[in-house]
Amino acid sequence: MPVQMTVNGQTVTIDAAPHTLLVQALREHLKLTGTHVGCDTAQCGACTVLVDGRAVKSCNVLVGQMAGASISTIEGLAAPDGTMHPMQAAFKECHGLQCGFCTPGMVMSAVHLCKTHPGATEAQIREGLEGNICRCTGYQNIVRAVQQGAANMTA
């Protein structure tokens, strides 16, 4: 079943079985492996991407549902010259990661959160990221990274 969508600004057509998950299509068909498979049950958030600007757990939607959609993955956040997105840079600068497995999904969720809730408080950031699980950190540096990233996104 061919499905046409825009991924990181490029129009693509994916020919996949109807039961193919978006995360599989991104990783296996488009080789965008920054979107991680963590739990396969939409609990951990490692597979979070932006679909038409909204944070979506890509292990929970079928690629067939994405016809005509605009999808952004972690690979699409950086500028064409390689300059990191302000949120990516903030995660690096604030040490908002350890093993890095959750980081792509966390960053994508944080970008969505900051766009929909500019000036979010620490409590709102923690609540906004509750669908993303990090097994390594105590979340404090992640919260700091989101605060810094948000400030730099609006600067």
pLDDT digits (tens, 9 = 90+) for 79-121: 999 999 999 999 999 999 989 899 999 999 999 999 999 999 9
Q: How many domains does the chain have?
A: 2
pTM (predicted TM-score): 0.93
Read off the CATH number of the domain in which 128 is found.
Answer: 1.10.150.120
Domain boundary residue, one of 26, 57, 76: 76
CA 31, CA 110: separation in Å to the nearest integer?
23
The residue segments making up the domain with residue 44 are 2-76
CB 131 within 8 A of CB 83: no
Find where tokens 């079928």 sit.
62
Q: Is the pLDDT of residue 43 over 90?
A: no
